[in-house]
Chain A
Amino acid sequence: MKVLLIEDDQKTGAFIVRGFAELGHSVNWSVDGKIGLEVALKERYDVIIIDRMLPGLSGLNIIEILRKKCITTPILILTALSAVDERVEGLETGADDYLGKPFAFSELIARVRALYRRGKDENVGSREEIIIGDLHVNLRTRSVSRAGRRLDLTPQEYRLLEFLIRRAGQTVTRTMLLEGLWSYDFDTQTNIIDAHVSRLRSKIDRDFKKPLLHTLRGVGYVLDAKN
């Protein structure tokens, strides 16, 4: 995965570059908005990570220019301005995801990977059926079956499954689920996601030998046919 990082904070930038490099991804890092934009226009990247407040040119301006030039590379905004309305503003400008600082590295890498995958298989959205192992999910009729056995899911469970299966093989963090399924961003002291996941797991995994829905402790979940 080839990533462009436009971030003026030395500490954050170095931390991200090192983290991505350890996972085998190459990162080009620019500390200036104008230079970052030039690089983004010249070369093709899989994902671009942009800070909102930058010297030279603001993150939102860069995104605007890139989108006007029809560059559709997935963009994640990484910023300290993470109030709900700032998030909405960022996404409306053309960013694909938004992560508030401070952030956990696991959260960032999960989101960047999700964007990378979305960029690659763009036909996922239009597909009628997604199959993971012996789990079949029909996106049109919303019917779910595993090993030929029809599974009855509640609407909530189905939404969770659809969210996970569209990102099959990728790590989905709790925050991504909270944002994706309950659209409002609220802090909670209760493990509400875990409870939903365990419901879903009891339906799609309990009576079958091979589990598909895995927990990554401290990070999130992944739906995958591989172990």
Chain B
Amino acid sequence: MLRIKRTLSLWRTATFRLAMIFATIFGFGAAILLIVLDFGVARFAEEELHDALRHQMAIMRADAQLEGGAALANILAEHVRTDSINRYYYLVIPPSGEVFNSGIPEEVKTISGFGTLQATASDVSRNGEISKIGVIVLTERMPDGTFMAVGRESSYLNALRSGLNRIAIWGSISLILLAIIAGLFIGMLFLRRLEHVNSTTGRIIEGNLSERLPSIGFGQEFDVLVRNLNEMLDRLEAAIAGMRQISTDFAHDLRGALTRLRNQLEELESSSDTQKTKIESAIEEADSLLSLFNAMLRLARLEAGSIQYDMITVDLAEIIRRAIAAYLPAAEDGGRQLLCNFDKAYPIIGDPALLSQLIANLIDNGLCHTPPNTTIEIELLSEADAVILKVKDDGIGVAEAEILNLTKRFYRTDQSRTNPGTGLGLSLVAAIVELHRAEMKIKNRYPGLLIEITFKHATL
């Protein structure tokens, strides 16, 4: 017994791997986004700080120009003393007079423009405790020689930075984790649904052809896939049932013909003189057997696609006219009328030999399965993008329930069972129609039958 592996490991499923890949990409993306954001925010805060220092410096410069460096030192000293929530540190060294310094060390003199250094500050809120703090400073030297510096604590900037970094790291980690968990979850969900499909497939492999795959859910594409697979199973099941029927029918037909042949040969053997008519009828019997095999082979080759064919532009009207010319005397001898009524060309893309065979089979069919005095009419219609071939007769028609079976191999309607023929004519027509990607419809027209084949139009 065929064993198939039906259990799948989650870690090795495509879904899970896909989820992992997505998690990685997603996590990296998120991390980069956070880092960029972090950097941007820090830069923005630093710019803000610089702006504030520039603003302070502008005020100091204006004062120094207006009243001189010494005066500025006094003003600032006054300002620092009265303003309890002053966040700036100042240093003013006028060319003469008193130096004002609210906490910036002397080494600031080596800095030109923006810079950072450590300042000592007595924190008012912490009872004048002296502490070292990071400061960003901006320095400027006035034309009269006054050196000015303004600074501001940068520690909150660092706090902001490290806070943002934490958010970036934890954010990235949790995003990646989330993606992995989601991937695992979806993978498991998917696996469980596939498990059903797999177990059903197993049962089908073991021979239970009527089983159908359950819906996977999840989305249209999976439903379409399952629907297509089920449709395929429908066709396979029908084909296998058909094959069984065909083998039975074929064996039946063959046995009948071979028995007749054997009886004729036996009769010949027992009769003293060779009777020519008996030999001839045995040959005829053998010929009809041969034509049955020929038709089967032709059909099998056609369906297997092993027949070479040339799809070229052909005039269907010309093929029909030629066939009618060949068949007309035989039709008239059988008391039937064979009509066609078209004078222009009806170009389609097709194989001339196969199309001739198709027309021949349709005419054979009409001549074989209708009573005398039947009119068989072949019509061609041209539509925008199609050429429609209609073969209609006013014979006895076919029972509605049997119409669908007409193209099955060896199928014979109750009325036609005694008529000559291989029982393969319309199967061959159906195969040729399929090869030309045309469509065939068979309808009752009360009285008679209509076979309608729609070919795609070819432009000459």
Contacts and interface: CB of A to CB of B under 8 A. Distances in A.
Most chain A CB neighbours (cut-off 10 Å) among B280, B308, B326, B333: B326
Contacts of A23: none
A196 B280 CA distance: 22
B330 A186 contact: no
B322 A199 contact: no
A190 B353 contact: no
Contacts of A181: 326
Contacts of A102: 290
B200 to A, nearest CB: 43
Contacts of A199: 329
Contacts of A83: 307-308
A195 B357 contact: no
A198 B333 contact: yes
Contacts of A217: 280
A190 B232 CA distance: 38
Nearest to A159: B325
B283 A218 contact: yes
B329 A85 contact: no
Contacts of A195: 329-330, 332-333
A192 B295 contact: no
Nearest to A106: B283
Nearest to B283: A218
Interface string A89-119: 0000000000000100000000000000000
B310 interface: yes
B196 to A, nearest CB: 48
Contact of B329 (A86, A187, A196): A196
B335 to A, nearest CB: 12
Interface in B292-326: 294-295, 298, 307-308, 310, 322, 325-326
Given A84-B353, A184-B353, A187-B294, A192 B330 contact: yes
B363 A190 contact: yes
Contacts of B283: 218
B352 interface: yes
A71 B406 CA distance: 53
A194 interface: yes
Contact of B308 (A85, A186, A194): A85
A86 B309 CA distance: 11
B415 interface: no
A102 B290 CA distance: 10
Interface in B348-365: 352-353, 356-357, 360, 363-364
A190 B364 contact: yes
Contact of A189 (B307, B333, B422): B422
B295 to A, nearest CB: 6
Contact of A182 (B326, B331, B420): B326
A189 B330 contact: no
B329 A198 contact: yes
B352 A184 contact: yes
A38 interface: no
Contacts of B367: 190
Interface in A170-227: 181-182, 184-192, 194-196, 198-199, 217-218
Interface string A156-167: 100000000000
B228 interface: no
B35 interface: no
B22 interface: no
B368 interface: yes
A119 B76 CA distance: 133
Nearest to A217: B280
Contacts of A190: 327, 330-331, 363-364, 367-368
Given A187-B291, A196-B329, A182 B308 contact: no
Interface in B131-175: none
B326 A192 contact: yes
A121 B135 CA distance: 124
Contacts of B364: 188-190
A185 B325 CA distance: 15
B418 to A, nearest CB: 14
Contacts of A187: 291, 294-295, 298, 357, 360
A192 B353 contact: no
B329 A189 contact: no
Contacts of A189: 291, 364, 368, 420-422, 425
Given A189-B420, A190-B331, A195-B332, 10 more contacts: A83-B308, A84-B308, A86-B308, A187-B291, A189-B421, A189-B425, A190-B367, A198-B329, A199-B329, A218-B280
8 contacts: A184-B356, A187-B357, A189-B421, A191-B330, A195-B330, A195-B333, A196-B330, A199-B329
Interface of A: 83-86, 102, 156, 181-182, 184-192, 194-196, 198-199, 217-218
Q: Which 9 A-B pairs have the closest CB atoms?
A: A195-B329, A195-B330, A184-B356, A189-B364, A186-B357, A218-B283, A186-B360, A192-B330, A84-B353
